[in-house]
Amino acid sequence: MIRSTLKKYRFSLLFISLTSLCTSTLAQNPVREIGNIKSVKVTGQEIGITTDNGYANIILYSPSIIRVRIDKKQLQNDQSYAVIATPEKIKNAVTNNATEIIIQTDSLKAVVQKKPFSIAFFTNDGRVINEDEKGLTTSWVGNEATTYKHMQEAERFIGLGEKTGNLDRKGNGYTNWNTDVYGYRTDADPIYSTIPFYIGIHHGLNYGIFLDNTFQSDFNFGASNDRFSSFGARDGEMNYYFIYHSTVRDIIRSYTQLTGRMKLPPLWSLGYQQNRYSYYPDTEVLRIAQTLREKKIPADGITLDIHYMDKYQLFTWDKERFPNPLQMTTKLKDMGFKTTVIVDPGIKIVPGAPAFERGLKADAYIRYVDGKYYSGQVWPGWCYFTDFTSAKGRDFWKKEVKFFPDNGVTGIWNDMNEIATWGQKMPNNVLFDFEGKKGSHLQAHNVYGALMARTSYEGIRAAMPDERPFILTRSGYAGMQRYTAIWTGDNRSEDDHMLLGVRLLNSLGLSGVPFTGMDIGGFTGNPTAGLYARWIQAGAFFPYFRNHTTYNSKASEPWSYGEEVTEIAKNYIGLRYKLLPYLYSTFYEATQNGMPVVRSLAIDNTFDNVVYEPAFQNQFLFGQSILVAPVESTKEMTKVYLPTGTWYDLYTDKKQTGGDEKLTELKLKQLPVYVKESAIIPMQNLIQTTAETPGDTLKIHIYNGSMQNSFVYYEDDGKSFAYEQDNFYKRTIHFDPLTKAISFDKASGKLASKFKQLLIILHGFTGAENFSSNGTSLVSTATKTFMIEDEKKFAPTSELKISNNADAFSIKY
C-alpha cells in the first residue's frame, strides 16, 4: 500500500513537472504555431479541423473558390461587410487519410497536410498553384495571425487596391490602415482605402487571395526576405478566399462575384466634372457653369467643397454665400449640370442644432467604453461621429441625407471618412456596434468609409427612388464597388503623381473597383500648362473625369492655361462625349462581370514580361480596345509598347505591328492612343451635356483585323432603375475576319434605341469595295473620319448607313 501510494506520488510529480515545462516552453515562445491536426469532421462542403493550437474550417464556395478560416479559438458564425455571396452547391470529393486531406473540385485540388497543418493548391493536372511555406504555415504573434506562402520562382504580385509603387509588387510590403495623407509621396503607404486582395502570377498560372479581415492587415511580397510571401491581420481570425482560374479576368469575375458588382451609374456622372476647393458664392458657381457653356467645353457636373456649409456644419448652407441653394441648383440643372457636394462624417457638437439633436435622440454616435460619446476635431471643430456599423446609426444618416436632394443636390462626395481627425489618433477604446456584436476602433477603422458610402447610397436612393445615386468616396474597403466611386485623394501637381494616379486606377481595377478617378491637374500645387494638358488628355479616358484643385492655388479650369491648352482640353473632353456609347457599354460590362473600365495591360497580357517594366506599366486599355499611353509633360519622345497583334493610330489609322517597343515623337496636342485590331467602337455626335440628345445616328467604328471579336452595345434611360425590369436596349455586334462578316444580333430588352440610324465606319478594309446586308448591296462612301482635330491627312474610310431595326442582320465585305 505504501509502495503504491509512493508510486502515485512520483507519477504526479512527474506529470506536474512535464506540464510546467510545456507551459514554460509555450510562455517563452512568442510565436504560437498552428501545430498538427488532431481531428477532422467533413460536413457537406465544409471541413472542420482541430489542431494542437487552433481550429480551422475549409469551405468550398465554388469549383474555383475555397475559403480558409483559422483561429486560436472555436470558430463562430461570422459576418462580413465585403462578401455577399454564399457557397454554391458543387460537385466535390474529400478524402481523409492518416497524413492528409485531399479536396477535389472540377477546377482545382487542395491538399491539407496534417503534420503540421498546411495547405497547398494544385491544378487538376498536378501543377502547384500556391502552397504554404513549409515550417511556417500559419501562426500567431500575440493576437496577430499570419499565413506564410512559399514564394515561387519569378512570381509576380499585382492588385491590392489603392497602393503606390509598381504594378508588380514583388519585393515590397504594404499595410492596410486607411489614412488621411495630404499631398502624399509617390511611395507613401498606407493611403486612403483598403482592399486586401491580390493576384499571384507564376509559371503560366495565376490565382487570387482575398483576406477578409477589417483589422490592420499587412502583406509582404518578399520584402526583407527571400523565402515567402505573407498576409496577416493584427487581430481577428485568419480568413481568406483562394481563387483559381486560368485567366486574370476570370479571377476578377470570381472576386466580384464574392464581393459584389457595381450598379449602373447615372449617365451624367460619366461626363466631365468641374471642381474646386472651393467655388463660392452662388454667383461664382453659376459663372463657372456659364463659362463652360460659352466656351463649348462639354460638362455635366459642378462640385461644391466645404465652403458651401455654415461654418462647416453638416446639413446646412452658408446663407450669405448661398442664400437660395435650391434656386441655384435648379438653374444649374436647366443648364445641363448636376450638383455634387462634399459630406464629412463629423457632426458638429452644437446643442440645439436639429441634426445634432436628432443624432443624440437616435443614439447614432460612437462612444467610449464607459458610455460617453467620442468627440474629435475636424473642420467644424469638435464633432460626434455616426456609427455606420449600427442599424440605428445608418437609419439616422439615411434620413439626414434627404437634406441634399431636397435642395436639388444629386451627388454625394464622402470625404474625411478614414476616419480623419486632427491629430490622426482616434483612440482604440472607442466602441462600435458591429450589428450588436460590438467591436473597437481597431476593427471598425478600415471599413468605416465604405459603410458611410453605403449608407449615403441607401439614403439618397430612398429619397430619390426614381434616380440613380452618385456617391463618391475617399476611403473604402473591399466591396465598396457596390455603392460608390472612389478617387485617389489629395494628390500633387507633378508628372510622377499623374503617372502614379494611373497605376492606382489600374490597381483598383484589378481589385474589383471599376468607377475610379483622380484630381486632374493635381490637388496641391500648380501644374504647368504642359502638365495640365497631358493630365486632361489622359483624364478623358478615366472612368470618373474630375478636375480639382486646392484652396489658394491658381485657378485650374480648362481656360486657365492659355488658348492652346483650352483647345486641347476642349478636343479631348469632346472626344470623351463622343465615346459615351462605348464607355456606357463598358460600364454595363462591369456590372455583369466586374471587368474594370481602366484595364491594366496585365489583365490580357499576364505573361508578357514587358508590360510590367516601369517604362510601360502606366499604359492601360480604356475598355476592351483603346490603348492609352500617358506621358510626362517634359518629354518630346517616348517609348510605347503595343502588345502582340495589329494596332491602329487613333488619329491617322496608321497600322502598327505589336510585340515590341515603339519610339514615338510627341506633340502636346496629341496623347499616344491606339486602337486594337478587330475593335468595335460605338460613338455618337458631340454634345455639351448628357442632358442633350446626341442625334439619331449611332456611329460604329470597325477596325479590320485577324481576330474574331464581339462587343455588347448597351443603352437605357441613363438615370433610373427601370433597366432592372428589362427597360434597356442591348445588341451584340460581331466581327469575323474568317467569314468576312460584321453581324448584329437581334436586340434584346423592352426599350427602343434612341438612335434610328447606324453609320458603320470601316477602318483598314483596304480593297473592300462591295458590301451587302442580308443579300442586299450597300453603297459605301469614302470619307475622312476626324476624332481629334489635326492638320494631318487622315486615312480614308468607308461608311455604310443603314436603319437601326431590331432584327438581326450582317454585312459582308
Contact 672, 639 (CB under 8 A): no
Of 212, 318, 387, 418, the active-site residue reads 418
| Residue owning grid cell 502583406 | 219
Of 415, 494, 589, 653, the active-site residue reads 415
CA distance 470 to 301: 11
Cα angle: 651, vertex 654, 659; to 5 degrees: 110
Contact 531, 498 (CB under 8 A): yes
How far is the CA of 533 from the CAs of 81, 203, 560, 634, 635, in angstroms?
A: 40, 41, 11, 11, 13
Q: Which residues pair with 621 in a beta bridge?
A: 599, 627
Contacts 24+ apart (CB under 8 A), 747-750: 747/806, 749/716, 750/725, 750/726
CA distance 349 to 382: 6
Surface-to-core class of residue 714, CB atoms within 10 Å of its CB (0-12 exposed, 13-18 middle, 19+ buried): buried
Of the chain, the end-to-end C-alpha distance in Å amounts to 108
| Exposure on the CB side of residue 717, measured as CA atoms within 13 A | 14
How much of the chain is helix, strand and coil, in % rounded to 5?
Answer: 25, 30, 45
Q: Which residues pair with 55 in a beta bridge?
A: 50, 71
Contact 750, 720 (CB under 8 A): no
DSSP E strands, 194-310? 197-202, 205-211, 217-220, 228-233, 238-245, 273-274, 301-304
Residue 533 CB coordination number (10 Å): 26
CA distance 438 to 21: 38
Has 305 been annotated as catalytic? no
User: Which grid cell is 443?
Assistant: 476593427
Of 33, 490, 495, 653, the active-site residue reads 490
Over the Cα atoms of the chain, what is R_g? 29
Task: Single out the residue of 498, 575, 504, 500 nearest to residue 532, CA to CA.
Answer: 498
Has 632 been annotated as catalytic? no
Q: Which residues pair with 430 in a beta bridge?
A: 368
How far is the CA of 781 from the CAs of 84, 734, 765, 775, in angstroms?
A: 52, 22, 13, 19
Q: DSSP per residue over 91-134, as a string?
A: --EEEE-SSEEEEE-SS-EEEEEETTEEEEEE-TTS-EEEEBPT
CA distance 650 to 631: 16
**Close Cβ partners of 367 (under 8 Å, ≥ 6 residues apart):** 373, 374, 430, 431
Greatest extent of the chain over all pairs of C-alpha atoms, in Å: 116
| Exposure on the CB side of residue 644, measured as CA atoms within 13 A | 8
Residue 170 CB coordination number (10 Å): 18
8-state DSSP, 172:
-
Cα angle: 755, vertex 761, 765; to 5 degrees: 155
Question: Phi/psi at 550 (nearest 5 deg)?
Answer: -85, 180
Q: Which residues pair with 150 in a beta bridge?
A: 228
User: Which grid cell is 157?
Assistant: 504580385
**Kind of pairing between the strands at 411-414 and 470-473:** parallel
Has 490 been annotated as catalytic? yes
User: Between the CA atoms of 183, 171, 602 and 491, what dihedral angle is there, to the nearest 10 degrees?
Assistant: 0
User: Which grid cell is 614?
Assistant: 516601369
Q: Which residues are marked as active site?
A: 415, 418, 490
